[in-house]
């Protein structure tokens, strides 16, 4: 059953605790119905949406060509709302988002008690991130969608994901800015496992998923893994923590991918700065630069200045690095 697939997670304590909780999670995680599988395609039916960044959409449900909401409006709202803990009213409705991204109706589930303005903000954050990936990452068109569950149940985790499901534990996340970075980190897992896939029938015996042989030898993620790893867990000779963007990335190839994914997209200048001090980080930076066609979401100059003064310092995880500046 698909629910038995390994799940990677992100927590805020030490990696040893992460491992224990992960093992517990295998037995305790909630049983869910199978996600609907939709096929995403890059087609030219709606050139106006394509120009605004929405170049992919569900072939099951066509977006309305009369949508009032533009990508620029979405971007502007998300960037303001999630910059800090601010309560601003969304200038559009849930329906407006569904009109341009109808798949989100089935993809995202919220706790019934969540206030409407929060639902709109979280939906907007997902629509914006997906829109960015569709616009700037050609691989994203081959995507099999996943389900996103927002949960208000108490948890020691902040989020966890595999290629089919993402769980976000709202009560464990301290502020809006951290949420947006966690969403990006989790999307990194989805892209790593669900989007970047090889075609070759021959599987890699070196880069496995928790020792399970699973990835094709031409899986594009392997090009990233092999920059600093000999195999799933073991780093290459001479590699140190300075060759990773955070301590959490040292856990395994999957956390390294998701952390680097978030660091590149939300702390572009910091990644660029650190890559001056480590040829390995430079290769990782170039990998993502190529993947996103040179585009990114936030430059975050302030954090880059901190790294310039402290090039040997690493955050525990990249989703909290910006709080260093506050």
258/321 with CB nearer Zn ion: 258
Report which DSSP code applies to 64. P
State both tokens at 91. Answer: 């200038």
CB 50 within 8 A of CB 71: no
Site map (CB under 5 A) of Zn ion, residues 265-304, x = contact: ----------------------------------------
Site string for Zn ion, 235-264 (x = CB under 5 A): -----------------------x------
136 binds Zn ion (CB under 5 A): no
**Is 7 near Zn ion (CB under 5 A)?**
no
Least separation in angstroms between CB 116 and Zn ion? 29
Count of all residues that appear for the chain in the document: 326
**C-beta closer to Zn ion: residue 10 or 197:** 10
CB of 159 to Zn ion, least distance (A): 7
C-alpha to C-alpha distances, 221 to 139, 164, 260, nearest whole angstrom: 12, 17, 12
Write down the least CB distance from residue 96 to Zn ion, Å: 31
d(CA 281, CA 63) in angstroms, rounded, equals 40
Tell me the number of residues near Zn ion by CB under 5 A: 3
Closer by beta carbon to Zn ion, 243 or else 256: 256
Among candidate residues 117, 177, 182, 109, the one with its CA nearest the CA of residue 146 = 109
Range list of H helices, 47-137: 47-51, 71-81, 94-100, 104-107, 116-136
Sites for Zn ion among residues 75-114 (CB under 5 A):
none
- Between CA 141 and CA 196 the distance in angstroms is 11
Give the whole-angstrom CA distance, residue 300 versus residue 268.
Answer: 7
Cβ closest to Zn ion, residue 12 vs residue 75: 12
Question: Closest separation between CB of residue 197 and Zn ion, Å?
Answer: 19
| Binding flag, residue 57, Zn ion (CB under 5 A) | no
The reply on whether position 165 binds Zn ion by CB under 5 A is no
Residue found by looking up tokens 């978030």 in the block: 262
Least separation in angstroms between CB 248 and Zn ion: 8
Q: How far is the CB of 29 from Zn ion (least distance, A)?
A: 15
Could you tell me which residues come within 8 angstroms of residue 275 by beta carbon, excluding any fewer than 6 positions away?
Answer: 281, 282, 284, 285, 286
Q: Would strands 8-10 and 159-161 be described as parallel, antiparallel, or unpaired?
A: antiparallel
Q: Judged by CB, which is closer to Zn ion: 161, or 235?
A: 161
Residue nearest to Zn ion (CB): 10
Binding to Zn ion by residue 10, rule CB under 5 A?
yes
The radius of gyration of the chain from alpha carbons, rounded to an integer in Å, stands at 19
Q: Tell me which residue has tokens 């569900």.
A: 58
8 binds Zn ion (CB under 5 A): yes
Pick 54 or 248: Cβ nearer Zn ion: 248
Interface positions with Zn ion (CB under 5 A):
8, 10, 258
């Amino acid at each position: 059953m698909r629910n038995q697939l390994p799940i990677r997670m992100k927590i805020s304590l030490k990696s040893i605790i992460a491992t224990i909780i992960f093992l517990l999670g295998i037995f305790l995680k909630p049983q869910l119905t199978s996600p609907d599988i939709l096929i995403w395609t890059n087609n030219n039916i709606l050139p106006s949406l394509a120009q605004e960044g929405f170049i992919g959409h569900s072939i099951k449900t066509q977006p309305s060509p009369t949508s009032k909401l533009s990508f620029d409006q979405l971007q502007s709202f998300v960037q303001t709302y999630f910059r800090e803990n601010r309560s601003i009213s969304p200038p559009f409705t849930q329906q407006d988002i569904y009109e341009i991204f109808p798949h989100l109706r089935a993809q995202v589930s919220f706790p019934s008690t969540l206030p409407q303005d929060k639902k709109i903000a979280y939906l907007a954050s997902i629509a914006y991130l997906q829109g960015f990936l569709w616009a700037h990452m050609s691989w994203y068109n081959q995507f099999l969608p996943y389900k996103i569950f927002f949960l208000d149940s108490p948890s020691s985790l902040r989020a966890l994901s595999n290629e089919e499901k993402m769980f976000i534990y709202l009560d464990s996340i301290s502020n809006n800015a951290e949420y947006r970075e966690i969403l990006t980190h989790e999307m990194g897992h989805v892209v790593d496992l669900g989007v970047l896939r090889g075609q070759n029938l021959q599987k890699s015996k070196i880069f496995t998923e928790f020792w399970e042989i699973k990835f094709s030898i031409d899986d594009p993620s392997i090009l990233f893994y092999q920059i600093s790893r000999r195999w799933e867990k073991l780093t290459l000779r001479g590699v140190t923590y300075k060759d990773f963007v955070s301590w959490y990335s040292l856990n395994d190839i999957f956390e390294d991918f998701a952390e680097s994914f978030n660091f590149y997209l939300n702390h572009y200048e910091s990644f660029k700065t650190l890559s001056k001090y480590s040829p390995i980080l430079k290769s990782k930076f170039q990998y993502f630069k190529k993947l996103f066609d040179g585009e990114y979401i936030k430059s975050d100059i302030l954090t880059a200045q901190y790294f310039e003064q402290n090039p040997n310092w690493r955050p525990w995880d990249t989703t909290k690095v910006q709080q260093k500046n506050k």
